Chain A
Amino acid sequence: MALLRTETLTKAFGALTAVNGVTLEVQAGTLHSIIGPNGAGKTTLFNLLTGQFPPTSGRIVFDGRDITGTPAHRIAHLGLARSFQRTNVFPALSLLDNAWIAAFARGRSWRGLVWRRSDGYAEVAERARAALADVGLADKADQPAREISHGEQRQLELAIALAAAPRVLLLDEPAAGLSPDEMQKMVALVRGLKGRYTIVLIEHKMDIIMGVSDRVSVMHFGSLIAEGTPAEIQRNPEVRRAYLGGMVAE
């Protein structure tokens, strides 16, 4: 069954249709990649899925429930967590607090919100630490986020999404701006998360996608032009023409 589904989802900014009639199904437990050149509308699609702004038309269905137009902070509570393409952390807070904030948001109850000491929530702290450990940042838990390297901030970006105990993890170019070494590490990380979460991954680097994906959808000028297994996508002539173009040696 599709855990996350969109029906002819469209978003227009004035004359520009950034996302155009996208119908997509993400099966539970799979890693579904969305590829396409810069400006294809991938991030806008994520912004729609997570309620950053409402679609112009179309529907989003999560776990059988219509979530079209639900604001971002509510969508997070349903279990859709995202990472951002541009590093988007809380710079002055410690790594642990970065993850803690996300873990607390999804906590079972907000009792004691204004009065209980924040270090008294053992379960939340545990989840935050586990998320940091998952991305390999456990030993830097007490450092402020602004003091760690760019590569580590990308890992933290992922940890914040994980700390929310998501049902669907939306990863927006987790390897953006990483050195080849760091990229290897990130790919291994994402591979490790596969199977534990339903993952939707945006990427424009083909080599990253092909190794880890179960399904691949190709976006071009706001529309989906193909969908299939990585092997099918690589063979698809339309994809080669429209997207891969000169990148693939004939």
Chain B
Amino acid sequence: MSRAWLAVLAAVVVLPLTVRHAIATEIWIFAIFGLGLNLLLGYTGLLSFGQSTFFGSAAYVAGYLLKQYAINVFVALAIGVVVGAVSAALVGYLCVQRSGLYFIMLTFALNQMFYFIAYQWTTVTGGEDGMPGIGRPALLGVDFRNPLAYYVFVAALFLLSLWIMKRIVESPLGKILQAIRENDVRAEAVGYDVPSFKLLAFIIGGGFSGLAGVLYAMLFGIVPLEAIGFVFSGNVVFATLIGGSGSLYGPIIGSFVFIWLSESVSVVWERWPLLLGVAFVIVVLFFRGGCVEAWARFWSWRERRRALEGIAQ
């Protein structure tokens, strides 16, 4: 097992001992959301500014079924993944026809469209008030109303998601998506239907977003309107960039930094987004690879210093 996996496992164990269970749970949910985005952003080079479309749609649909029919948790999760993937297929199909700025604006515009549907359709979504009353049905005798039990469940699903994403990025698909990021004209010329591959990345990313959306709805017992809003879409992009979009583990670190800042510092200091802004500027100016790159640079700097000291003696 690699060092990265050991670090992730250690974090899974230590986190609920140091912060409130709800925050710890939210960190892993947001990390799943980030993993899905990063397949697009980091691996395929597509800046999607509309990931909350899939997150929110899945949260509403699965949340509604949980509320009305108290369906099985696994069924709810499966429905969330499917809703996320299908909505991503619809949005992705339209977006991959364009590239660059037009692509980004399309993801954003379609996100706004979904947002206003949720805003207007008050009988189902509750509009601005959100959709409350979502329960966490027990599973195999385990009561998920217990925060720690739910944390363990979410953490396990996160580890499963991470493992699946690792398999995907290490598969031929992962390599092809990176080739498309590097040079889409050449990728097309050597025999890959670039729009179809981008769409596939969208669908997979949408599935991850959908899973995160359902877990989020179950965590707070409500789907707030913001869950499908553009701020949420922006947050996952910020978090992933701060963590490092060049690495599989970047979004996890980003999620940790982002949620911890927003949940812990926001209690003490109302203007906490300012900190986030500063962090973002630092990343963009000095560490394009986010925390992952900062960490790697720090280590290589230490190695060099050690080597120099060795020579001096």
Residues of A that sit less than 8 Å from B by CB: 50, 52, 71-74, 76-77, 81-82, 84, 88-93, 97, 100-102, 104-106, 110, 112-118, 121, 160, 164
Contact = CB atoms under 8 A, between A and B. Distances in A.
A164 B182 contact: no
B168 A164 contact: no
A81 B171 contact: no
User: DSSP majority for the A interface?
Assistant: loop
Max chain A Cβ within 10 angstroms of own Cβ: one of B167, B178, B186, B200: B186
Interface in B153-189: 167-168, 170-176, 178-179, 181-183, 185-189
- Across the A-B interface, give the 3 residue pairs with the lowest CB-CB distance, nearest first: A76-B191, A105-B191, A90-B182
Interface string B196-232: 0000100010000000000000000000000000000
B190 A102 contact: yes
A218 B181 CA distance: 37
Place the interface of chain B in its size category: 20 to 34
B175 A101 contact: yes
Given A90-B179, A160-B190, A164-B190, A104 B185 contact: no
Interface in B220-273: none
B171 A77 contact: no
Interface of B: 167-168, 170-176, 178-179, 181-183, 185-194, 200, 204
B189 A110 contact: no
19 contacts: A73-B191, A76-B191, A81-B190, A84-B186, A88-B185, A89-B183, A89-B186, A90-B186, A92-B181, A93-B179, A101-B190, A104-B172, A104-B176, A106-B191, A112-B171, A113-B172, A115-B167, A118-B172, A164-B191
Main secondary structure of the interface of B (DSSP, over half): helix
Nearest to B178: A93
A118 B179 contact: no
B149 to A, nearest CB: 31
B189 A72 contact: yes
Contact of A118 (B175, B181, B185, B189): B175
Contacts of A110: 172
Contact of B192 (A52, A105, A115, A160): A105
A231 B190 CA distance: 35
Contacts of B183: 88-91
A3 to B, nearest CB: 19
B171 A101 contact: no
Nearest to A82: B189
Contacts of A113: 171-173
Nearest to A76: B191
Contacts of B188: 72-73
